Structure 1
Amino acid sequence: MAVVALNWELGADWGHIARFLPIALGLRERGHEPVLLLRDLSRAHALFATHGIECLQAPLWLRQVTGLPAEINLTETLFRFGFLEPEGLMSNIAAWRALWKRIGAQLLVCDHAPTALLAARGLGQPTVVIGNSFAVPPLAAPLPPYRWWMAHGSQDGQQGTAKLLPITTVGWPSPRAASKA
């Protein structure tokens, strides 16, 4: 029996946690123990308590980041959630890892959980990413703009990617380098 951590970090409302219910029930039917690490616990009890599924608070970036231009793509959205501040980001990474260790997670399932995905790098732990196309963007650099129909400068998005790259590779190999090893 494996402990499976279902992780949700960004976004709002029922969509993310409701997606976890059939996954958690299916895992339990197969003898595994699902544990949910959720951004917002306020509705979790109503959905999961009757099924006896444990729900815990996920690590979150709470400090408001100001002075940034309007977001062009997901990279720039991540700037608002700690990806421009290495110390704070590393604190959240450490918190994710500590939670997974505490519950004995053997598999990670991430729904719109970018810091959790970053925390999983280098652990050698199986990780599954689920979600819609907003939370699971294409593997491209720069990421496509949210408003694809509007004209953007050729540098838009690329500057954000350049700022993000050093943060996401601190302490771990880049995903492409790791896949070639």
Structure 2
Amino acid sequence: MHPSGLSRDIELSLQEKTSIQPHIFIANIREAQTVSRILIAWELGGNYGHLARCLRVALALRDRGHNVAFVVRDPRTAAEILGKHSFVYFQAPHVATPTRLANPPANFSEILIGKGYADQWALLGMTRAWQALFQFFRPDVVLADHAPTALFAAHIMSIPAIPIGIGLAVPMPVSPQPSIRPWEPVPETRLIHADRTVNTCLEAVAAAVGFKGKRVPTLADLYANALLAFFPEFDHHGFRPNGKYIGPIFSFPPPTPLKWHGNRPHRVIAYLRSETRGFTSLMQALRNSESFETIIMVPGLGESNTKQLSAPHLQIFRDTISIEDILPKADVMISQGGVGTMAQTLLKGVPMLLMPHHVEQYLAAQRINELGASIICEPVDRSSEKITALLEALIQTKSYRDNANDFAQAHAGFDLNEPVFATVAALEAKIRRR
């Protein structure tokens, strides 16, 4: 162990990823006025998707001469993803103690109520903190990925802002916000009450900070010009007639030497986390199978568990790796239902076994089920026997592969860079109109 308390390998990795010097940011934000300052805000949600998506946009913006900084929900994730690219980031304002709801959130407004949007003091504190960040960085435009309070504060300060995101992170431009639990009978009065609670809180905070505009924006107003970074077929709420669908923004992990060993008749790729319900049964099914050769990514899996579960026909990776080269030859992809993974898989014409871990993933998985390109492994039965049977059904039933290929052909002209270009163009248009 190194004297710093870090292993030598980790210390070297950190040195490689944190080469930025403290004075660089101050120098950059004081450059000539011809340089545009763009702040990318991530306030809610977890895992890598938000920053991985925004990183590609940030790199494109920097290549065009813009000064880019981040405000992030999770500094640890930012250190992993942004550090080696020398982007500066700040901690996003948040409530110290989220509001405990009596029932699981029924719509986007209830999600926000759990994050402080029924507590005027909490929302006022977060709004003023965002205002202070904006006053410090002086952005010409804000890109908000699941960052509703950043959008609100930007509106209060007349700073142009564009929401971007996937699924439930981009609410519908309607009121009340629709239910996100379609399998439950949610009274409309509950949805209306949730919207009214959030909008009343926004009005009170706007008055407290001295907003002089004609009308306080509602939650729906804040997302009126959102960029939808996914395919229309994946929309959790169904197709939005006036939605600005730009397509998914994929991240590109570093290349990893991969190859199929060819010691089993069928090839499976999997990407999910160990806390997913049924994970142990899944690993048992894959390890004991004489039919499946598997390459699986399990971010955060412990080293001892990795060694214990690995086998010649079961390659386990503890980080996200590039699967572009091996994906076309896979028979099945196993996923929790992340929109990015599902899009990448269907673009290669590969059917999926989906094991959603939370509501957002379950709603997205239902959309793919409607295409006939997947099977959902329901939480009520995720035994190893059930998982094996579903994998065999996906492989043996030709229609799943055919429907996945139909999707791939329908989007054959999709340019992986186009969503990034569209986002950059939208931000630059906002700057020009300011």
Q: Give the TM-score normalised by structure 1.
A: 0.91
Structure 1 residues 121-159: Cα deviation after superposition (integer angstroms, max 9, x where no partner): 222111011001211111111101011243222312011
The reply on whether 1:141 has 2:175 as its aligned counterpart is yes
Deviations 1:84-127 (A, max 9, x none): 11112111100001011111211101000111111112221110
Q: Aligned AA for 1:51?
A: H
Q: Among residues 169, 184, 191, which one is paired with 1:157 in the alignment?
A: 191
Bigger shift: residues 47-56 or 35-44: 47-56
Of 127, 135, 153, 1:119 maps to 153
User: CA offset at residue 67 of structure 1?
Assistant: 4.9
Which of 170, 175, 178 matches 2:217? 175
Which residue matches 2:316? none
**Structure 1 match to 2:200:** 166
Segments of 5+ residues of structure 1 without an aligned counterpart are none
116 and 69 in structure 1: CA distance in 2 versus 1, 3 angstrom threshold: same
Q: 1:34 aligns with which of 49, 53, 68?
A: 68
* Alpha-carbon distance between aligned partners in 1 of 2:79 and 2:187, rounded to the nearest angstrom: 46
Aligned-partner residue type, residue 113 of structure 2: F
Measure, in 2, the Cα distance between the counterparts of 1:17 and 1:67: 28
Unaligned runs of 5+ in 2: 1-34, 225-434
Q: Which entry has the higher C-alpha Rg, 1 or 2?
A: 2
1:151 aligned partner, one-letter code:
P
Could you tell which deviates more after superposition, 45-54 or 92-101? Answer: 45-54
Provide the TM-score with structure 2 as the length reference.
0.39
Confirm or deny that 1:58 pairs with 2:92. yes
1:105 alignment partner in structure 2 = 139
Q: Which whole-Å CA distance do the structure 2 matches of 1:97 and 1:19 have between them?
A: 24
| Higher helix proportion (structure 1 or 2) | 2
Please provide the CA RMSD for this pair: 1.8
8 Å contact from structure 2 (residues 131, 157) kept in 1: no
